[in-house]
Structure 1
Amino acid sequence: MIACKRVYDTASPQDGRRILVDRLWPRRVRKEALAHDDWLPALAPSADLRKAFGHSPERFGEFRDAYRRELAAHPEHWWPLLEPAGRGTLTLLYAAKDERHNNAVVLAEFLEDELERQAPGSSPPCYAGEVGQT
């Protein structure tokens, strides 16, 4: 299971493995105070994409598509998360105020799609139409 949670919300044992997926460290949070297992800034959208999105819900669809293309082009960044997500709870931590329109939501959807692609009985994933379209 993959969940998303703001870094400012209280950690819970049900969170499982907690991964910060923002490129920038969250404001007003000391590194030693955040309950997290890892920080993977390479998983975050590029600086250009993040700035173009500007956390505007109106641009979220465009942001989602562009971010998914960035993710598809770099499986080495997200591949290690599939195994823990498939065997337990993986919580993606983010700092954005908007709980529905942020990079963690897109990443969670992307990872869930990848888990489904790799489920028993599925054919091997193909990124031919996705890679290099950033």
Structure 2
Amino acid sequence: MARAARQPIRLKRVYDPAEPGDGQRLLVDGVWPRGKTKQELAIEAWLRSLAPSAGLRRWFGHDPARWEDFRARYFEELAANPDGLARLRTYLDRGPVTLLYAARDEEHNNAVALRDFLMLARRSGPAGRQAGATPRTLPGVRGNA
């Protein structure tokens, strides 16, 4: 059976209201957002295993000057998490997805990096994955070794 075409991955702050176009709303932070209930968030799932490690999150501290290094390190964590990525793929195969995050910075947060990782992995295709390509090793990703 052919896989359904993948939908664009949307991003949204958890403090913004849910909208019909959000599709499946997935929380991708490691810490539950303050003052919010599951019902208020209207989430399909909390994919805590895809959040950056606590140590990486603390090191980054949402400092835009550390963004490129954060992305590279987070990509390594994601590449080492096939089970978490497989779970996310099941949602992506079902239809539109919105990744929810709590950070104030809409350009430098783990949801942005996770979306970037997924987009790079899609471009590498099955051949790239079989050859050991990860977003960290793909051309155009800053911070490559």
TM-score by length of 2: 0.80
* Structure 2 segments unaligned to the other structure (5+ residues): 1-7, 137-145
Alignment of 1:115-134 (within 5 A): 115-118=122-125, 122-123=126-127, 125-126=129-130, 128=132
Distance 1:33 1:44 in 2: 21
Distance 1:65 1:108 in 2: 13
Shift of 1:33: 1.8
Do structure 1's residue 96 and structure 2's residue 93 form an aligned pair?
no
- Structure 1 equivalent of residue 13 of structure 2: 6
Structure 1 runs of 4+ aligned residues shifted over 4 Å read: none
Distance 1:127 1:21 in 2: 28
TM-score by length of 1: 0.86
**Cα RMSD for the two superposed structures:** 2.0
SS state of the match for residue 104, structure 2? coil
- Structure 1 equivalent of residue 83 of structure 2: 76
User: Residue type of the partner of 1:115?
Assistant: R
* Structure 1 segments unaligned to the other structure (5+ residues): none
Distance 1:44 1:62 in 2: 16
Distance 2:56 2:131 in 1: 21
Q: Is the 8 A contact 1:7 1:95 kept in 2?
A: yes
Aligned pair count reads 128
Deviations along 1:60-87, one digit per CA (max 9) or x if unpaired, are: 1110000000000111111222243255
